[in-house]
Structure 1
Amino acid sequence: MSRNQPINVQTFINEHPFGRFQWLVFFVCFVIVLLDGFDTASIGFVAPALLTEWHLGKPDLAPVLSAALFGLACGSLTAGPLSDRLGRRSLLLWAVLLFGMACLGSAFAQTLEQLTVLRFVTGLGLGAAMPNAVTLMGEFCPDRRRATIINLMFCGFPLGAAAGGFLAAWMIPHFGWRSVLIFGGVTPLLLAILAAAQMPESVRFMVARAMPNERIQATLARISPAALSAERFTLTEAASSNGRSGVNVVLSKPYLVGSVMLWLAYFMGLVIFYASINWMPILLKDAGLPLKSATLVSALFPLGGVGAVLSGVLMDRFNANRVIAVCYGLTAVSVYAIGQAAGNIGALVAVIFLAGLLMNTAQSSMPALAAAFYPTAGRGTGVAWMLGVGRFGGIAGSFLVAELARRHFSFADIFATVAVAGAVASVGLLVKQLAAPQAPTSSVGAESVSH
């Protein structure tokens, strides 16, 4: 290759194997998702110990348990535009440091108010880190494997949640509840050291922002030394930023309908997820199951996240909008079936596991769908806003079941109502497909060049 011939960075990534350097990026991003799952599960195990040590009533814990969710939403909504302006790497590092220090600080909280504030800050950091991890990983993936790799990365969430439960169950009796938060704080701080030493900035972002050629060349050379033969790098996309901010790209006419449908689908998916994991043990117990059986059966629901890998393969081969829409549609059917299976323990076990498999598969596939939909100039904002808006769905899901129970809805009626969210998510993605049959980034168009 002539030294004067420019390299298109995405074509370069597509033409080379997914190598050791990209697996390093994957590892760091995977651990960030793992830590989110760990944090989500472990605080639930810490809560009973707080009730005893601080002599609290159950309603007193509501602010602590919801603070991180509000922080996650706020962190996602603010971090996306910052990522598109400042870069993926720097924001990711600061976010990991923030949630590590806040989680570590939570271990030394002396009052409920202190713990609530620190849980909110922990959520802010996690909310900023998660979408940046998705965006950075997506921008180092070959197009043909992007959904598979991002979905594989998101398997870290259920694994982290499972690890959080098991570790907390072992650590709290031996070392106290503060040990769980110390572990959850020290781990990201160690990860930040590795990320600062090894993690690169996204090459797509560097070209789009016309950063120094030497930085782009040095990063691409870690994928293949062939990058050293070029002095210019290009980025070909259908939508050029034209100096617009990430927010302006996401809300622009070509992307607006797709953006709203992504927010709607992710919101509705988390309505189902949090309504189920927060309330299913109580609802099953009220339906006649012994408490131990209700807890064990409910634990089947979040185990289905590994189905996202198969979904990623299907998304890379077929129409991704339709693949996930089918998953959400089947989720609605299976969640409705949970309400019809009361009194039959065998049927409950089967249908709850199936519902969890379908729901977690659909939900874990959404970040890959968003990452493929937006151009580089708006990808950070697009992914982050979808995740941020969705967190409010988690809050809504918890309050929805509480209100239905207050109105004395039956077991079957509660799950029939929750199932509607899956149908709405499915329709939303079909509308996105009809409004923009192909993501605007998928055709060739305007070019960014780094000199």
Structure 2
Amino acid sequence: MHSSSRRPTLTIALCFAVALIEGFDLQSAGTAAAGLRQRFELDAMMLGWVFSSSIIGLLPGAFFGGWLADRIGRKKVLVAAVILFGVFSLWTAFAGNYGQLLLARFMTGLGLGAALPNLIALCAEAVGERRRSTAISIMYSGVPLGGALAALVAMFAHDQWELTFIIGGLAPLLAVPLMLMLLPESRAFQLTTRPDERLSTATALFGEGRVSATLMLWLSYFFTLTVMYMLLNWLPSLLLDQGFSKSDAGLVQMLFNVGGAIGSLLGGVLLDRVNPVRVVLCIYGGLLAALAGLGLAVGVIAMAIAGFAAGLFALAAQLVLYALAPPLYPTAVRATGVGAAVAIGRLGSVSGPLAAGQILAAGAGSTGVLLAASPGLVVAALAVLHILRRARSVSGSQVSAHNGNA
């Protein structure tokens, strides 16, 4: 049905489109926060739970989405996930009370969580090892661009906050027929032997000397995603609390996402072409500097620059993690390994917005939130460097592709 030369391009293009929609839906609650707060009469902690309920859904979604994909196929699980988050994004727009709102966000998160490990696995398996990071980065750049679209819609929608969720629900449902017709299943998955009942999840994650790599991967995902989701969900509210106007906050949020798209692309391209240790040090150092900028910037221009830099380095850091995960695991258990790492990272994603809500409720302000995020980034960077050192020391390791062009 698909020529061998067209398969990788078609896979990456369709996965990019899904990632674009995913990015829109991931940030829809953050950009619609003011409308949600007014409609449901939410305080800071209640709003934190609205943000975190979708992220809590991401956790089991990512794990079981990856686990199931290694058994029935990446394409089938991805299509089901897209339908799920489309339906419940629509439901968010028409939720009648706070309980329904939380349930709608949880179910949306479940679908979004199941989609991501399949997007990563499909792109990783569509190309050769030397282009793997680049392929994943092209796909993943759709996530921040989708977030920028969500910020744009929020700016023009004004008080019609429901519009964000209606668009976020209809777009994935319209994409499903295209995916069914055009998206090829991973050839690597089709050619591999299916894992049988004897190959447990523990063996998939920790077998064949993968214990330290898996644990370090989880640690880096946890702390990087803590900061990532704190910024994604709370940045507009933090800016409003600092005295910026709604339009200024929207501008900074949009620049955060544009920076993220550039950072995502650069992260993957650099990983495939430059010494990855230098790439990691630059990215995490830049992210720490950007957080300081967000806390100290005075005036909309300085804040816009800090927001752009924060997006660039935060998404580049996340892309590094998504590119490092697939080569650590053989094809038969790859989606399980990626899904488990994403799921563990979601624990950080849940704690980030909730911690930010508690810090704000305690009166520490936005500077307190940004300061609290910094130590975790140092831990994440050290964990990534451990994985890279291990990859370099293990001769013939599947991860050595990341050092091939250094």
TM-score normalised over the length of structure 2: 0.85
Q: Is the 8 A contact 2:151 2:254 kept in 1?
A: no
Match of 1:316 in 2: 272
Pick the aligned partner of 1:193 from 177, 180, 192. Answer: 177
Match of 1:182 in 2: 166
Tell me which amino acid in the other structure corresponds to 2:383: G
The aligned length equals 396
Change (3 A) 1:335 1:103: closer
Residue 73 in structure 1 maps to residue 59 in structure 2: yes
Residue 440 in structure 1 maps to residue 362 in structure 2: no
Shift of 1:156: 0.5
Query: How many Å separate the matches in 2 of 1:428 and 1:171?
Result: 42
Shift of 1:298: 5.5
Tell me which amino acid in the other structure corresponds to 1:378: V
Change (3 A) 1:144 1:120: same
Pick the aligned partner of 1:205 from 182, 185, 189. Answer: 189
Q: What does residue range 287-302 of structure 1 map to in structure 2 within 5 Å?
A: 293=248, 296-297=251-252, 299-302=254-257
Tell me which amino acid in the other structure corresponds to 1:32: V
Query: How many Å separate the matches in 1 of 2:40 and 2:365?
Result: 35
Match of 1:133 in 2: 119
Match of 2:284 in 1: 328
Shift of 1:318: 3.5
Query: How many Å separate the matches in 2 of 1:148 and 1:18?
Result: 19
Shift of 1:50: 3.9
- 1:281-328 Cα shifts (integer Å, max 9, x gaps): 555566676676566446543332212222212211244455234412
Change (3 A) 1:136 1:245: farther
Q: Is the 8 A contact 1:32 1:130 kept in 2?
A: no
Match of 2:370 in 1: 415
Which segment drifts farther, 303-312 or 127-136? 303-312
Query: How many Å separate the matches in 2 of 1:352 and 1:179?
Result: 25
* Consecutive unaligned residues in structure 1, runs of 5 or more: 1-16, 211-239, 445-451
Match of 1:267 in 2: 222
Q: Is the 8 A contact 2:89 2:169 kept in 1?
A: yes
Change (3 A) 1:344 1:101: closer
Query: How many Å separate the matches in 1 of 2:397 and 2:347?
Result: 27
Match of 2:328 in 1: 373
Tell me which amino acid in the other structure corresponds to 2:312: L
Match of 2:22 in 1: 36
- 1:19-64 Cα shifts (integer Å, max 9, x gaps): 4332221122112211121112222344433444455556544433
Q: Is the 8 A contact 1:288 1:343 kept in 2?
A: no
* Consecutive unaligned residues in structure 2, runs of 5 or more: 402-406
Q: What does residue range 3-14 of structure 1 map to in structure 2 within 5 Å?
A: none
Pick the aligned partner of 1:249 from 188, 195, 204. Answer: 204
Report the secondary structure of 1:354's partner residue: helix
Shift of 1:88: 1.1
Shift of 1:163: 0.8
Shift of 1:132: 0.5
Match of 1:165 in 2: 151
- 1:387-422 Cα shifts (integer Å, max 9, x gaps): 222122122222333444456557656534322222
Query: How many Å separate the matches in 1 of 2:31 and 2:286?
Result: 31
Query: How many Å separate the matches in 1 of 2:236 and 2:88?
Result: 30
Match of 1:120 in 2: 106
TM-score normalised over the length of structure 1: 0.77
Report the secondary structure of 1:254's partner residue: coil
Change (3 A) 1:331 1:109: closer
Query: How many Å separate the matches in 2 of 1:343 and 1:48?
Result: 23
Query: How many Å separate the matches in 2 of 1:284 and 1:55?
Result: 20
Work out the percentage of aligned pairs sharing the same amino acid: 35
Query: How many Å separate the matches in 2 of 1:394 and 1:433?
Result: 24
Query: How many Å separate the matches in 2 of 1:281 and 1:118?
Result: 22
Q: Is the 8 A contact 2:85 2:112 kept in 1?
A: yes
Larger helix fraction of residues: 2
- Alpha-carbon RMSD: 3.2
Report the secondary structure of 2:126's partner residue: coil
Tell me which amino acid in the other structure corresponds to 2:397: P
Q: What does residue range 198-237 of structure 1 map to in structure 2 within 5 Å?
A: 198-209=182-193
- 1:161-204 Cα shifts (integer Å, max 9, x gaps): 1111222443465xx44443332222212222121222222111
Report the secondary structure of 1:139's partner residue: helix
Shift of 1:427: 0.5
Shift of 1:109: 2.9
Query: How many Å separate the matches in 1 of 2:231 and 2:40?
Result: 28
- 1:316-353 Cα shifts (integer Å, max 9, x gaps): 124445523441233224424544x3547665544443
Report the secondary structure of 2:375's partner residue: helix
Tell me which amino acid in the other structure corresponds to 1:162: A
Tell me which amino acid in the other structure corresponds to 1:440: S
- 1:52-85 Cα shifts (integer Å, max 9, x gaps): 4455556544433322111111200222211112
Q: Is the 8 A contact 2:79 2:176 kept in 1?
A: yes
- 1:191-234 Cα shifts (integer Å, max 9, x gaps): 22121222222111121127xxxxxxxxxxxxxxxxxxxxxxxx
Query: How many Å separate the matches in 2 of 1:296 and 1:241?
Result: 51
